[in-house]
Amino acid sequence: MSGLAIQNLNKAYGPVHALSDISLKVDNGQFVCLLGPSGCGKSTLLRIIAGLEDVTAGHVILDDRNITEVPAHLRDFGMVFQSLALFPHLTVGENIAYPLRIRGVSKEVQKAEVERLLKLVHLPGVADRAITQLSGGQRQRIAIARALALKPKLFLLDEPMSALDAKLREAMQVELKRLQQELGITTFLVTHDQKEAMTTADVVVVMSGGVIQQVAPPLEIYRNPANAFVADFIGVANLIEGRVATPGRVSVPGGVVAMPQAPASGKITFSVRPEDLELREVPCDSSVVGRIAFTRHLGSSIEVSVAVDGLAKDLIVSLPSRQDARLSLGQEVHVHVPSSACVVLGGA
């Protein structure tokens, strides 16, 4: 198989199981985001792919070759860390050329490569500047350029954008995605920011507690979360527990929801996104009764919290902002829950 395969990977630091039985296959040219809360094992997995960390058990296979024991400097992968790790005493050009210089590439080729890479990251003509003269976003691009100098097979990024302010971070995400598409380079980005993962990735690997929870394209993760952890971690989700009353009908606090996809009997948990819920004045075939507890304007939409007797958390309903005219606190509302929007969840 061409691409990267991780097979039954385990990593323990003494008693801490940082990674438990991780298996993953990634085709060449894909943009993969390793996403999860702090401490879930994302960086450990990236560092093992890079060869910076040894494994307790398992294999890393690149294009059918077992590279598990190959040291980092012989893998020639490009890496960018949060700290960027640029050399402050070298110029921009010297920083970018560094990996070429230590491999004995001629001065002429180094110079041409520096110019090519600076153009690639949209910063032509700054080779002679000091690193200290550049802004945070510009330094970021220089670190990316340096990581790409060796035309690496894999491009590995560990939260490189987390130190940037929100606007610049968004711009860099777009830039990174564009660059990755242009070069067609297999890329792994570690992030705890679900928006960053949604906007950049072809494939999102959601992790928690050293275990992979789901591997899928961003929209699939959002629309069809595999379990309650994924549903809750990605965007806003209403997680509701209920009991199948009769086939296709689920009793929940405040009402009954039509759900042909539910199992024939028993207790279930399902997830439904705020934008799929609707507010009505009268009950319908699939609705829950509650009272408006809180409203919040978010620009293009309005978020309505509906308190339902028996539900620990308010239901969150997202409406287009022009629909808020008749909403008042304490008002009784019927939340229509469309069956097609309900995702029955497996155990997390």
Smallest distance, ligand ADP to C-beta of residue 192, A: 7
Query: In the set 9, 26, 42, 144, which binds ligand ADP (CB under 6 A)?
Result: 42
Specify the residue, 38 or 132, whose C-beta has the smaller distance to ligand ADP. Answer: 38
Smallest distance, ligand ADP to C-beta of residue 232, A: 17
181 in helix, strand or coil? helix
Query: In the set 6, 26, 35, 41, which binds ligand ADP (CB under 6 A)?
Result: 41
Contact between 18 and ligand ADP (CB under 6 A)? yes
Distance CA 94, CA 126 (A): 11
Contact between 173 and ligand ADP (CB under 6 A)? no
Q: Which stretch binds ligand ADP (CB under 6 A): 35-43, 145-153, 280-288, 291-299?
A: 35-43
Smallest distance, ligand ADP to C-beta of residue 19, A: 8
Task: With CB under 6 A as the rule, give the number of residues binding ligand ADP.
Answer: 11
Contact between 253 and ligand ADP (CB under 6 A)? no
Query: In the set 1, 13, 296, 320, which binds ligand ADP (CB under 6 A)?
Result: 13
Specify the residue, 17 or 223, whose C-beta has the smaller distance to ligand ADP. Answer: 17
Contact between 87 and 96 (Cβ < 8 Å): no
The C-alpha angle with vertex 346 and arms to 344 and 348, in degrees rounded to 5, equals 130
Mapped to the 3 state alphabet, what secondary structure does 220-278 carry? HHHHCCCEHHHHHHCCCCEEEEEEEEECCEEEECCEEEECCCCCCCCEEEEEECHHHCE
Please report which helix (H) or strand (E) contains residue 4, including its range. strand 4-13
Please report which helix (H) or strand (E) contains residue 315, including its range. strand 315-320
Smallest distance, ligand ADP to C-beta of residue 159, A: 8
Contact between 44 and ligand ADP (CB under 6 A)? yes
Q: What torsion do the CA atoms of 138, 85, 29, 174 make, to the nearest 10 degrees?
A: -30
Contact between 197 and ligand ADP (CB under 6 A)? no
Please report which helix (H) or strand (E) contains residue 79, including its range. strand 78-81
Q: Which stretch binds ligand ADP (CB under 6 A): 10-18, 68-76, 109-117, 228-236?
A: 10-18
Query: In the set 5, 20, 24, 39, which binds ligand ADP (CB under 6 A)?
Result: 39
Contact between 16 and ligand ADP (CB under 6 A)? yes
CB-based contacts of 342: which residues, under 8 Å, 6+ apart? 257, 259, 261, 270, 271, 272
Query: In the set 40, 272, 302, 308, which binds ligand ADP (CB under 6 A)?
Result: 40
Query: In the set 6, 26, 33, 43, which binds ligand ADP (CB under 6 A)?
Result: 43
Distance CA 151, CA 99 (A): 11
Contact between 160 and 147 (Cβ < 8 Å): no
Specify the residue, 80 or 343, whose C-beta has the smaller distance to ligand ADP. Answer: 80
Specify the residue, 56 or 138, whose C-beta has the smaller distance to ligand ADP. Answer: 56
Which position has the token pair 């230590």? Answer: 102
Structure tokens at 192: 């705890």
* Residues at the interface with ligand ADP (CB under 6 A): 13, 16, 18, 36, 38-44
